[in-house]
Amino acid sequence: MLRQAHRGETAALEELIGRHGTYLYGIARSLCGNEHDAEDLVQEVFVATLSAKFRGESSVRTWLVAILVRRAAMLRRSMSRQPLRMDSTGDVAKAPEPLASDAKVDLAVMLEALSPEHREIIVLRELQQMSYEEIALVLSIPRGTVESRLHRAREQLRLRFKNYFDV
Amino acid sequence: MCEHSDQIHAYHDGELSAPLRAKLEAHLAGCAECGRELNELRQMARLLVAAPMAQMPADLPARIVSSFENARRAKDSGIRKLAGWLNAAAAVILLAATVRMSGMMTRGTEKPAAEASTGLRDWELTAVMPPDRQVDDAGSADLIQVAQWMARDLSSNGDERR
């Protein structure tokens, strides 16, 4: 179906968008924190498939999410002159406030308190079930950095959602 | 903090080797702190996977198709232009090499023979031809003819006439 889309068959492209577009948008929205950037990002992901090579080593969805995460990182670097919510190491400036257990929680809300680097790690590990090696390849970081970032991201989430846990 | 707590995340993610996994599982059977941490990791993972996601705007699929088609057309157009440029660049390189070779094999102290025949400007020829080379070679005439043809072809922008 990817090949059909690249050959210009609109129906195949629409089918791909139908299968993966909503999921990709949800991920993009969680990574970007706003609708406008998320929409641009999703468009860029499908356009990027024209140049990127799908080797069939993962599912199409995982491949698309990997492209999306990379694009989000590029977008973030290009906007690096804007004031950042978090410092450059990805650590939060202060501990996130715990949410009340009856607060409405969607993925974007869950990840909004995290730094962009931590959101990427959580998306790739928890939602895409990628291994540490795969995450290291996608993000172009050492495996050790994957482990330490994941550890810190989860600690931030644990503090924020501790009221949701069964004791 | 338990000394094994740094392995809990890797264990949860299936990243421990079999021997380390077995060792940690034996430890988990008796460590409440590590057991609690593992339990929270699992609950967190379930929360994340089950969390609803933002819905895609209704008009976004059409915009994606439009962006994709525009990019595909631009890519096809770019490939054709690139092929054209590469052909022109190859011809220039070949001309420069051919003219240089014919210049190296031509006797003369005044104007190089190629220049007199092709009508090329002085600075163009001297840019590619070293001065005052002398050679007796029957093939040099053919090379000069090729250089003349290519020079006329490439310079046919109104300055030269066939």
Which residue stretches of chain A have pLDDT < 50? 84-94
- Greater pLDDT, B56 or A75: B56
The pair of three-digit structure tokens given for residue B14, joined into one six-digit string: 């299936």
Axis-axis angle for helices A10-32, A35-48 (nearest 10): 140
Residues of B in Cβ contact (< 8 Å) with A18 = 61
ipTM of the complex model: 0.77
User: Mean pLDDT across the stretch B6-22?
Assistant: 95
pTM of the model: 0.65
Which of A18, A134, A11, A23 has the alpha carbon at shortest distance from A68?
Answer: A23
SS3 B36: helix
Structure confidence by residue, pLDDT tens digits, A138-152? 898 999 999 999 999
Residues of A in Cβ contact (< 8 Å) with B40 = 158, 162, 165
Q: Are B115 and B126 in contact (CB under 8 A)?
A: no
- How far apart are alpha carbons B98 and B101 in whole angstroms? 5
User: Mean pLDDT across the stretch B75-102?
Assistant: 72
- How far apart are alpha carbons B39 and B11 in whole angstroms? 12
Q: Do B44 and A161 touch (CB under 8 A)?
A: yes
Q: Are B84 and A143 in contact (CB under 8 A)?
A: no
Q: Is the pLDDT at B9 greater than 80, yes or no?
A: yes
Residue of B nearest to A25 (CA): B56
